[in-house]
Amino acid sequence: MATGTDQVVGLGLVAVSLIIFTYYTAWVILLPFIDSQHVIHKYFLPRAYAVAIPLAAGLMLLLFVGLFITYVMLKNQKVTKKVQ
């Protein structure tokens, strides 16, 4: 069972994810249908970043996953050499 701290952290992560999802959805799906002179456009980045930011985040995620897997594999390889 999760402790109170775990539940608060989980709720915070869900809330942040929901806010990011809502902002990105409004930015990518709704904003193209609103006139470019409307005041709401000043709260959003240019549309080119709508592709660049998720692409960079995905590449960083793949990099860190690859580094973690490499680290674990090298660490396990050293442990098995010591055992033999």
Domain limits of the chain?
1-37, 44-83
Write the Ramachandran bin of 44: left for phi over 0, alpha for psi from -120 to 50, otherwise beta.
beta
pLDDT of residue 80: 75
CA 14 to chain centre: 12
Instruction: Give me the numbers of helices (H) and strands (E) for the chain, helices first please.
Output: 2, 0
Show pLDDT as tens, one digit a residue, over the chain (84 residues): 778 999 999 999 999 999 999 999 999 999 999 998 999 999 999 989 999 999 999 999 999 999 999 999 999 887 777 666
